[in-house]
Chains A and B, each alone.
Chain A
């Protein structure tokens, strides 16, 4: 077994929160620049210019890209041969979030209950998805998920008869209904198959894929392209004020499912994509 100290996890989680808040990933910045070059709406082009300038200012001055520094979401792959010494992985990640959000001056956006709405004042608890994999490493992928785009998520339990066209209609319909609200241009995460909760989890997980990279499955790749084209025909455009750039990419993850079911989940990510990864 390989031992990884509790404090090593705390420091890693803290660093991921702090760094990603002000450093827009290169794939998103490239996608925004490409969208700017293609944008046909003058207002849309000005908005995309402002977003690119905002990314530069945020990085240079270490200011948060967006004031909604999100709910801290972690996808962790823990090697079967790795063991955390001195505490649980969950406690370590939450401690890292607590410190990262405080020390980097990030907004604390978590309330302890959906109805009593009392702020926990340290942005915990984090949302942690843990998977066991072969090996002795721990890989931690982090995303600060904003409330505006998360609120536009949708899930449907379609029937097998709905098929490919049913999936396309549901995803395009979700983006259509979201309109200006999720801060377009967006990345559309789609989870297809599994059960109710697996579809939702896959939709979120798909948002970690590099923007602009092809889906390794050719059938899913063609599905993504068709959905993307139909979304961008909607004309919603940057910030919903009209234009070509509504979505920058569609990412689909699929999973085996029951003979009666075709679950589809849509999880939208805004252009202020705050995400980073570390392998310990």
Chain B
């Protein structure tokens, strides 16, 4: 995994999404949006009601995170990824609406992986439990929707060299499946 590091700009260009492969080590820079369980529920409800989501989904990356409160003078508190499978039931709907990338931790359901192939999107895994370290790559943070949800509000983040690994790609590649197969002793 050491060696080549791929720089990725967000929002994601179509060519970037197509060229990324499971196992690629990336550094993401640009604008990303936070959303976890409660925000996903509201975004999907908005889409189903024909209303605009809190941000234009096309090409964007959503980061599954609920940060700790920022101390005075700081941009954000600790901000590592939360477990992604809880968002799986909402994922196909968001990808259909144009979302191109997700950052979280842990594996996805077969239906979510299939939706990534169908709608051409990627899933990046960040290191779970490294929230103090990851927060240093976040340069600005602003709540843009659902403020009443507290830690679960939707935030617009500007990130610089956010470290992640491509976990699922548009061809169905899966780092969890591949990694495990390589190291299991049966």
The residues in A between 226 and 251 inclusive whose CB is less than 8 angstroms from any CB of B are 233-237, 239-244
User: Chain B, 73-97, contact with A by CB distance < 8 Å: what is the 0/1 string?
Assistant: 0000111101101000000000000
B49 within 8 A of A: no
B59 within 8 A of A: no
A-B contact count (CB 8 A): 162
The chain A residue sitting closest to B127, CB to CB, is: A50
**Known pairs A107-B67, A148-B82, A236-B180; A241 contacts B130 (CB<8 A):** no
Q: Are A234 and B69 in contact (CB under 8 A)?
A: no
**Known pairs A148-B83, A237-B183; A181 contacts B66 (CB<8 A):** no
Q: Which of B13-21, B111-119, B171-179 faces chain A?
A: B171-179
Question: Chain B contacts of A240 at CB under 8 A?
Answer: 106-107, 176, 179-180
A108 within 8 A of B: yes
User: Chain A, 7-24, contact with B by CB distance < 8 Å: what is the 0/1 string?
Assistant: 000000000000000100
Q: How many chain A residues have a CB neighbour from B under 8 Å?
A: 50
Q: Are B128 and A57 in contact (CB under 8 A)?
A: no
User: Chain A, 175-207, contact with B by CB distance < 8 Å: what is the 0/1 string?
Assistant: 000011101000000000000000000000000
A88 within 8 A of B: no
**Known pairs A121-B150, A181-B106; A105 contacts B70 (CB<8 A):** yes
Q: How large is the interface on B (under 10, 10 to 19, 20 to 34, 35 or more residues)?
A: 35 or more
Q: Are A272 and B129 in contact (CB under 8 A)?
A: yes
**Known pairs A58-B132, A271-B129; A235 contacts B68 (CB<8 A):** no
Question: Chain B contacts of A151 at CB under 8 A?
Answer: 83
Give A271 to B149 CA distance when docked, in angstroms: 27
Give A69 to B79 CA distance when docked, in angstroms: 11
Give A51 to B80 CA distance when docked, in angstroms: 12
Give A53 to B136 CA distance when docked, in angstroms: 13
A268 within 8 A of B: no
Q: Are A51 and B127 in contact (CB under 8 A)?
A: yes
Question: Chain A contacts of B4 at CB under 8 A?
Answer: none
Question: Chain A contacts of B67 at CB under 8 A?
Answer: 67, 107
Give A179 to B85 CA distance when docked, in angstroms: 12
Q: Are A64 and B182 in contact (CB under 8 A)?
A: no
Question: Chain A contacts of B2 at CB under 8 A?
Answer: 42, 46
Q: Are B65 and A179 in contact (CB under 8 A)?
A: no
The chain B residue sitting closest to A238, CB to CB, is: B127
A90 within 8 A of B: no
Question: Chain A contacts of B77 at CB under 8 A?
Answer: 63-64, 67, 105, 107
A117 within 8 A of B: yes
Q: Are B179 and A41 in contact (CB under 8 A)?
A: yes
The chain A residue sitting closest to B186, CB to CB, is: A233
A215 within 8 A of B: no
Q: Are B125 and A64 in contact (CB under 8 A)?
A: no
- Which listed residue, B127, B132, B163, touches A239 by the CB 8 Å rule? B127
Question: Chain B contacts of A51 at CB under 8 A?
Answer: 127, 129-130
**Known pairs A63-B132, A108-B150, A241-B175; A234 contacts B180 (CB<8 A):** yes
Q: Are A244 and B183 in contact (CB under 8 A)?
A: yes
A43 within 8 A of B: yes
In whole Å, how far is B150's beta carbon from the nearest beta carbon of chain A? 5
A261 within 8 A of B: no
Question: Chain B contacts of A89 at CB under 8 A?
Answer: none
Give A119 to B150 CA distance when docked, in angstroms: 8
The residues in A between 117 and 147 inclusive whose CB is less than 8 angstroms from any CB of B are 117, 119, 121, 147
Give A160 to B35 CA distance when docked, in angstroms: 46
Q: Are A270 and B179 in contact (CB under 8 A)?
A: no
B133 within 8 A of A: yes
Q: Are A64 and B179 in contact (CB under 8 A)?
A: no
Give A237 to B127 CA distance when docked, in angstroms: 13
A254 within 8 A of B: no
**Known pairs A69-B68, A105-B70, A183-B105; A270 contacts B183 (CB<8 A):** no
Chain B contact residues, CB within 8 Å of chain A: 1-2, 38, 65-71, 77-80, 82-83, 85, 105-107, 125, 127-133, 135-136, 149-152, 163, 165, 175-176, 178-186
Extra A-B contacts (7), CB below 8 Å, given A51-B129, A107-B151, A239-B105: A42-B1, A50-B130, A50-B163, A67-B80, A67-B151, A234-B184, A239-B127
Sampled A-B contacts (10; CB under 8 Å): A47-B127, A64-B77, A64-B78, A65-B78, A66-B80, A68-B66, A105-B70, A151-B83, A270-B128, A270-B129
